[in-house]
A and B are shown apart, each in its own frame.
Chain A
Amino acid sequence: MIAELGLAALWLAAALAVLQLVFGTIFTLKSAEKAEFSQIVRPAAAMQGVLCALSFLILTWLFARTDLSVKLVAMNSHSMKPMIFKIAGTWGNHEGSMLLWVTVMAMAGALIALIERRLPERTMMATLAAQAFVGLGFYAFLLFSSNPFERLDPPALEGMGLNPLLQDIGLAFHPPTLYFGYVGLSVAFSFAVGALLTRQVTPDFARAMRPWVLGAWIFLTVGITAGSYWAYYELGWGGWWFWDPVENASLMPWLAATALLHSVSVLAARDALRAWTIMLGVVAFSMSMVGTFLVRSGILTSVHAFAVDPERGSFLLALLAIYIGGALLVFAMRAGSVTEGERFSLVSREGALVVNNVMLSAILGVVLLGTLYPLLTEAFDVRVSVGPPYFNPVSAIFALPMLLVMAVGPLLRWRHDSAKRIRPELILIAVLGLVTLAGVVAFAGIAVLPTLGIALAVVVIVASVMPLRGRKLRLLPLATWGMVIAHLGIGVSLLGMASETAFTQEKLAAVKVGDTTQVGPWTVKLDRIDPVAGPNWTALEGVLEASYRGGKPVTIDPQSRNFWSPPQETNESALITRWNGQLYAVLGREAGEGRWQLRLWWKPLVTLIWIGGMMVALGGALALIGRVYTDLRRRRVMRKAVERRSEASA
Chain B
Amino acid sequence: MKHWRYFLPLAVFVAFVGVAAWQLTRPRDDFVHSAMIGKEVPSFDLPTAVGDRPALSTANLKDGKPKLLNIWASWCIPCAAEAPQLARLQEAGATIVGVAIRDRPEDVAAFLDRYGNPYARIGRDDLSKVQLSIGSSGVPETFVVDGNGVIRYQHIGDVRPEDVQLLLSKLEEAKR
Evaluate contact between B28 and A332: CB separation under 8 angstroms: no
Evaluate contact between A313 and B24: CB separation under 8 angstroms: yes
Evaluate contact between A325 and B17: CB separation under 8 angstroms: yes
Among B1-52, those with CB < 8 Å from A are: 2-3, 6-7, 9-10, 13-14, 16-17, 19-24, 28, 30
C-alpha spacing A282/B6, complex, angstroms: 13
Evaluate contact between B23 and A332: CB separation under 8 angstroms: no
B3, B6, B22, B28: the one contacting A310 at CB < 8 Å is B28
Instruction: Answer whether residue A446 sits at the interface, using C-beta atoms and an 8 A cutoff.
Output: no
Using A299-B24, A310-B28, A317-B24 as known contacts, say yes or no to A279 and B19 having CB atoms under 8 A apart. Answer: no
C-alpha spacing A379/B19, complex, angstroms: 8
C-alpha spacing A328/B12, complex, angstroms: 10
Contacts of B19 in A (CB 8 A): 372, 375-376, 379
Using A310-B28, A321-B17, A372-B16 as known contacts, say yes or no to A328 and B23 having CB atoms under 8 A apart. Answer: no
Evaluate contact between A328 and B10: CB separation under 8 angstroms: yes
A275, A286, A290, A297: the one contacting B24 at CB < 8 Å is A297
Contacts of B2 in A (CB 8 A): 336
What is the interface of chain B mostly: helix, strand, loop, or mixed? helix
Instruction: Answer whether residue A99 sits at the interface, using C-beta atoms and an 8 A cutoff.
Output: no
Contacts of A375 in B (CB 8 A): 19-20, 23
Evaluate contact between A336 and B24: CB separation under 8 angstroms: no
C-alpha spacing A212/B28, complex, angstroms: 39
Return the CB mask of B112-146 against A: 1 if under 8 Å, else 0. 00000000000000000000000000000000000
Q: With CB as the reference atom, state the residue of chain A lying closest to B22.
A: A379
Contacts of B14 in A (CB 8 A): 325
C-alpha spacing A375/B7, complex, angstroms: 24
Instruction: Answer whether residue A335 sits at the interface, using C-beta atoms and an 8 A cutoff.
Output: yes
A299, A313, A317: the one contacting B17 at CB < 8 Å is A317
Q: With CB as the reference atom, state the residue of chain B lying closest to A335.
A: B6
Contacts of B10 in A (CB 8 A): 325, 328-329, 331-332
B3, B7, B9, B20: the one contacting A317 at CB < 8 Å is B20
Contacts of B17 in A (CB 8 A): 317, 320-321, 325
Q: With CB as the reference atom, state the residue of chain A lying closest to B20.
A: A317
Contacts of B9 in A (CB 8 A): 279, 282-283, 328, 331-332
C-alpha spacing A320/B10, complex, angstroms: 12
Contacts of A282 in B (CB 8 A): 9
Tell me, rounded to whole Å, the shortest Cβ–Cβ distance linking B77 to chain A.
15
Using A283-B9, A332-B10, A336-B2 as known contacts, say yes or no to A314 and B23 having CB atoms under 8 A apart. Answer: no
Contacts of A298 in B (CB 8 A): 28
Contacts of A193 in B (CB 8 A): none
Tell me, rounded to whole Å, the shortest Cβ–Cβ distance linking A277 to chain B.
14
Instruction: Answer whether residue A488 sits at the interface, using C-beta atoms and an 8 A cutoff.
Output: no
Evaluate contact between A378 and B3: CB separation under 8 angstroms: no
Contacts of B21 in A (CB 8 A): 314, 317
Instruction: Answer whether residue A324 sits at the interface, using C-beta atoms and an 8 A cutoff.
Output: yes
C-alpha spacing A331/B12, complex, angstroms: 14
Tell me, rounded to whole Å, the shortest Cβ–Cβ distance linking A537 to chain B.
25
Tell me, rounded to whole Å, the shortest Cβ–Cβ distance linking B30 to chain A.
8
Among A322-370, those with CB < 8 Å from B are: 324-325, 328-329, 331-333, 335-336
Tell me, rounded to whole Å, the shortest Cβ–Cβ distance linking B54 to chain A.
35
Q: With CB as the reference atom, state the residue of chain A lying closest to B26.
A: A378
Interface size class on chain A is 20 to 34
C-alpha spacing A45/B10, complex, angstroms: 30
Among A366-406, those with CB < 8 Å from B are: 372, 375-376, 378-379
Instruction: Answer whether residue A481 sits at the interface, using C-beta atoms and an 8 A cutoff.
Output: no
Evaluate contact between B13 and A378: CB separation under 8 angstroms: no
Evaluate contact between A325 and B13: CB separation under 8 angstroms: yes
Contacts of B6 in A (CB 8 A): 275, 331-333, 335-336
Among A271-320, those with CB < 8 Å from B are: 275, 279, 282-283, 286, 290, 293, 297-299, 301, 310, 313-314, 317, 320
Q: With CB as the reference atom, state the residue of chain A lying closest to B9.
A: A328
Evaluate contact between A314 and B22: CB separation under 8 angstroms: no
Using A336-B2, A336-B6 as known contacts, say yes or no to A299 and B13 having CB atoms under 8 A apart. Answer: no
Tell me, rounded to whole Å, the shortest Cβ–Cβ distance linking B134 to chain A.
20
Q: With CB as the reference atom, state the residue of chain B lying closest to A324.
A: B13
C-alpha spacing A313/B20, complex, angstroms: 9
Tell me, rounded to whole Å, the shortest Cβ–Cβ distance linking A381 to chain B.
10
Contacts of A331 in B (CB 8 A): 6, 9-10
Tell me, rounded to whole Å, the shortest Cβ–Cβ distance linking B136 to chain A.
18
Tell me, rounded to whole Å, the shortest Cβ–Cβ distance linking A120 to chain B.
24
Contacts of B24 in A (CB 8 A): 297, 299, 310, 313-314, 317
Evaluate contact between B7 and A332: CB separation under 8 angstroms: yes
C-alpha spacing A372/B18, complex, angstroms: 13
Q: With CB as the reference atom, state the residue of chain A lying closest to B32.
A: A383
C-alpha spacing A446/B28, complex, angstroms: 43
C-alpha spacing A484/B75, complex, angstroms: 63
Contacts of A283 in B (CB 8 A): 9
Tell me, rounded to whole Å, the shortest Cβ–Cβ distance linking B10 to chain A.
4
Contacts of A335 in B (CB 8 A): 3, 6
Tell me, rounded to whole Å, the shortest Cβ–Cβ distance linking B135 to chain A.
15
Contacts of B23 in A (CB 8 A): 299, 375, 378-379
Q: With CB as the reference atom, state the residue of chain A lying closest to B12.
A: A328
Q: With CB as the reference atom, state the residue of chain B lying closest to A275.
A: B6
Evaluate contact between A299 and B7: CB separation under 8 angstroms: no
Tell me, rounded to whole Å, the shortest Cβ–Cβ distance linking B168 to chain A.
27
Evaluate contact between B3 and A299: CB separation under 8 angstroms: no
Contacts of A328 in B (CB 8 A): 9-10, 13
C-alpha spacing A320/B3, complex, angstroms: 24
C-alpha spacing A333/B10, complex, angstroms: 11
Contacts of A279 in B (CB 8 A): 9
Contacts of A333 in B (CB 8 A): 6
Tell me, rounded to whole Å, the shortest Cβ–Cβ distance linking A591 to chain B.
18
Tell me, rounded to whole Å, the shortest Cβ–Cβ distance linking A367 to chain B.
14
C-alpha spacing A325/B14, complex, angstroms: 7
Tell me, rounded to whole Å, the shortest Cβ–Cβ distance linking B82 to chain A.
24
C-alpha spacing A282/B19, complex, angstroms: 21
Return the CB mask of B49-78 against A: 1 if under 8 Å, else 0. 000000000000000000000000000000
Contacts of A297 in B (CB 8 A): 20, 24
Contacts of A293 in B (CB 8 A): 20
C-alpha spacing A416/B3, complex, angstroms: 28
Q: With CB as the reference atom, state the residue of chain A lying closest to B10.
A: A328
Q: With CB as the reference atom, state the residue of chain A lying closest to B21.
A: A317
C-alpha spacing A324/B16, complex, angstroms: 11
Q: With CB as the reference atom, state the residue of chain B lying closest to A283.
A: B9
C-alpha spacing A617/B22, complex, angstroms: 39
Tell me, rounded to whole Å, the shortest Cβ–Cβ distance linking A93 to chain B.
21
C-alpha spacing A321/B13, complex, angstroms: 8
Among A246-291, those with CB < 8 Å from B are: 275, 279, 282-283, 286, 290
Q: Pull 16 A–B residue pairs with CB atoms less than 8 Å apart, ordered by A.
A: A283-B9, A297-B20, A298-B28, A310-B24, A313-B24, A317-B17, A317-B21, A320-B17, A325-B13, A329-B10, A332-B7, A332-B10, A333-B6, A372-B19, A379-B22, A379-B23
Given contacts A320-B17, A378-B23, 10 further A-B contacts (CB under 8 A): A275-B6, A293-B20, A299-B24, A313-B24, A314-B24, A317-B21, A332-B6, A336-B2, A336-B6, A375-B23
Q: Which 7 A-B pairs have the closest CB atoms?
A: A336-B3, A328-B10, A332-B7, A335-B6, A332-B6, A299-B23, A321-B17
